[in-house]
Amino acid sequence: MKKALVTGGAGFLGNAVVRAIQQRGVKVRVLALPDEALDNLEGTEEVEVIRGNVMSPEDCVRAVKGMDTVFHCAAIYKDYMADPTPMYEVNLRGTFNMLEASRRAKVERVIYTASVAALGRPAPGTIADEQSHYEAWDINFHYSRSKYHSMLTALDFANWGLDVRVVCPGLIFGPGDIAPTPSGNLILSIMKGKAPAYTKGGFSYVDVRDAAEVHARVAERGRKGEAYIATGHNLDNDAFMAAVARSSDRSIPRARKIPAPVALALVSGMTYAKVKAGQTPDMTRPFLEYGLQPGYFSNDKARQQLEAQFRPIEDTIRDAIHYFRGRGLLSA
């Protein structure tokens, strides 16, 4: 790996990937949207920036030219969109455009960023792995569905001959969450006292820097057509809120557990009120409903085959809080 393109390289995960592969002496090109801020690239070594959009086949062809490796991190990750059509178009058609351009340019390897949300949640009391089949068809969770279908597209390209390797990160936290993403908004909501209650369920979490390191190791050691879960911690909602409290330097009121039907009704009502007021909801019913069945995932494959390591979640949350304060999203 000598020359690599990182799509979404000015974003959250993409920028962490840029830094991880630069440490290996790789020359990096970033595909950024025409009007996208490049704040996250500050402090990196020299990076070639190409302005374009994965929705344009021509831009994809221009971006991959001369590259031996492509990290396709660009995607729309949002909890709420009034019209989710752009999410499906970018996450599906954009992925096809980038993989097809890579195939025609004879790129040596493509590392595609999927998500644990593209895999199947485990049965209660168990932990899922890379072989778990998607099953959340009864929940209208557009991000999850779009990543599932785009992952299938990536694996199809692997079957057709392109060396595609898949990384499935857990919910990503840490510094550089410029949007911020729905994951980062969980921390912000707790810190701002907007999460006075929680319900059953849980998620699988990972530091953005650890997820990026897994991407780099998959490029170095991964196998064509295989997926690798990048996650560090499986926590129920109570344990996650406690981790945020431990990582903060301020007192956070203890949240109380409420029944799932009550939580769903409250979130539905708050979503309606926010949308009616022209504001973006802090959380939507599909996101909450998806998490009612714990989404716990094993990182055994990444640890054993890639020798991946994952830092304590308190360190991740603490660094995320520091970053949000630096951007004025949290008071000191």
Mean pLDDT across the chain: 95
A 10 A CB-CB count for 147 gives 26
The model's pLDDT over 149-165, given as tens digits with 9 standing for 90+, comes to 999 999 999 999 999 99
Beta carbons within 8 Å of 300's beta carbon, 6+ residues apart: 129
Number of domain units in the chain: 1
- Asked whether residue 324 is assigned to any structural domain, the reply reads no
Give this prediction's pTM. 0.96
The model's pLDDT over 303-314, given as tens digits with 9 standing for 90+, comes to 999 999 999 999
Residue 25's domain spans which residues?
3-173+205-233+296-312
Instruction: Name residue 182's amino acid.
Output: P
The model's pLDDT over 76-99, given as tens digits with 9 standing for 90+, comes to 999 899 999 999 999 999 999 999
160 secondary structure, DSSP code: T
Residue 116 banded pLDDT, cuts 50, 70, 90:
very high
Q: Is the pLDDT of residue 217 over 80?
A: yes
Instruction: State the average pLDDT over residues 5-24.
Output: 97
- Asked whether residue 282 is assigned to any structural domain, the reply reads no
- Asked whether residue 39 is assigned to any structural domain, the reply reads yes
- Residue with the bigger pLDDT between 251 and 78: it is 78
Q: Is the pLDDT of residue 40 over 80?
A: yes
Q: Which two tokens stand for residue 185?
A: 């908004």
C-alpha 88: how far from its chain's center?
15
Q: What is the CATH number of the domain that holds 115?
A: 3.40.50.720
Q: Is the pLDDT of residue 332 over 80?
A: no
Cα–Cα distance measured from residue 233 to residue 245, given in angstroms and rounded to the nearest whole number: 16
